[in-house]
């Protein structure tokens, strides 16, 4: 039914916590796919051989979490993928919860999956705010940019859709924002069931991507280009275009390419005319 996908890099000390949370599940209709993105901490994998749950371990050269997600999706064998970071753990009825909710919507046209809430591991407090309407069906663009739901959420996505919308990869860049994938899924017309229940607990470690964002101008250029289209509120499109222009300069694109590769050319031209400093004062 469900593939738990964990990408890891030098997280020898946190993986056993995930393992223990999986052993406590009330429903075992899942597999755990671990993609090791070139760890150098001699990750202890003895517990992987215990045979208590099905585990697939894949090692790859370091390329960033987004490349590990793409690799994990290729080996996933179940209907749905639940991304579980190496510093997270699931609530005990997480698998049962997903199965229950997926059964109610799996035949709805253009349904991509189910989205849930996250909570802080130490305090138990909700991360961000809840969905406005429990068990509503919305696109992730509607949820984030129109309903203004904030904070990390867990999206359980159909495996075929996860594979159809891989993380874009740019040579030399170690991070691609997940929101690029979510935006593209939404633009294709797919929606999610939004459930106001906590499915996992999250710990933001000092060495995690949430606190350490490498300089990836091509990825962020693409992200803000995606946000300039008609699916977004106008004031957000304007702000996104300004940032698209800046990241175009930082990714060493020419002014001509900045314009020609823009998804909303009239808005790009308007920003360049009215706020030329977005280009000319941006350092490369």
R_g (Cα) of the chain, nearest Å: 20
pLDDT tens-digit series, residues 54-72: 999 999 999 999 999 999 9
pLDDT tens-digit series, residues 86-127: 889 999 999 999 999 999 999 999 999 999 999 999 999 999
Residue 236, CB half-sphere, CA atoms under 13 Å: how many?
15
**Are 140 and 192 contacting, i.e. CB atoms less than 8 angstroms apart?**
yes
- Do β-strands 111-120 and 80-83 pair in parallel, antiparallel, or remain unpaired? unpaired
Residue 136: Cβ-neighbour burial (10 angstroms; 0-12, 13-18, 19+): middle
Predicted local distance difference test score (pLDDT) of residue 208: 56
What would be the CATH architecture of the domain defined by 2-202? Answer: Alpha-Beta Complex (3.90)
Could you state, in order of their start, the residue ranges of all structural domains in the chain? 2-202, 217-280
Q: Which range is least confidently modeled, 14-23, 128-137, 154-163, 223-232?
A: 14-23
pLDDT band at 11; cut points 50, 70, 90? confident
Percent share of the chain, pLDDT over 90: 85
Structure tokens that stand for 165 in this block:
């919308």
Residues written for the chain: 284
pLDDT tens-digit series, residues 179-210: 999 999 999 999 999 999 999 999 987 755 55
pLDDT band at 212; cut points 50, 70, 90? low
pLDDT of 160 > 90? The answer is yes
């Amino acid at each position: 039914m469900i593939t738990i996908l964990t990408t890891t890099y030098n997280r020898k000390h946190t993986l056993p916590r995930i393992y223990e949370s999986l052993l406590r599940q009330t429903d075992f209709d899942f597999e755990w796919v671990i993609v090791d993105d070139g760890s150098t901490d001699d990750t202890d994998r003895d517990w992987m051989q215990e045979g208590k749950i099905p585990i697939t371990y894949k090692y790859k050269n370091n390329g960033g979490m987004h490349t590990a997600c793409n690799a994990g999706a290729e080996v996933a064998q179940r209907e749905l993928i639940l991304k579980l970071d190496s510093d997270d753990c699931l609530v005990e009825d997480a698998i049962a919860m997903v199965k229950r909710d997926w059964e109610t919507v799996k035949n709805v046209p253009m349904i991509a999956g189910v989205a849930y809430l996250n909570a802080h591991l130490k305090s138990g407090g909700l991360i961000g705010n809840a969905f406005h309407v429990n068990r509503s069906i919305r696109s992730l663009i509607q949820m984030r940019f129109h309903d203004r739901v904030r904070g990390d959420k867990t999206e359980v996505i159909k495996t075929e859709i996860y594979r159809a919308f891989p993380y874009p990869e740019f040579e030399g860049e170690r991070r691609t924002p997940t929101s690029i994938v979510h935006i593209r899924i939404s633009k294709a017309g797919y929606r999610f069931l939004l459930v106001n229940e906590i499915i996992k607990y999250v710990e933001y470690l000092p060495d995690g991507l949430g606190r350490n964002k490498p300089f990836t101008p091509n990825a962020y250029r693409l992200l803000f280009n995606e946000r300039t289209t008609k699916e977004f509120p106008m004031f957000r499109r304007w702000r996104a275009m300004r940032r698209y222009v800046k990241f175009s300069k930082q990714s060493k694109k020419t002014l001509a390419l900045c314009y020609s590769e823009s998804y909303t050319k009239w808005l790009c031209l308007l920003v360049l005319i009215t706020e030329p400093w977005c280009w000319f004062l941006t350092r490369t």
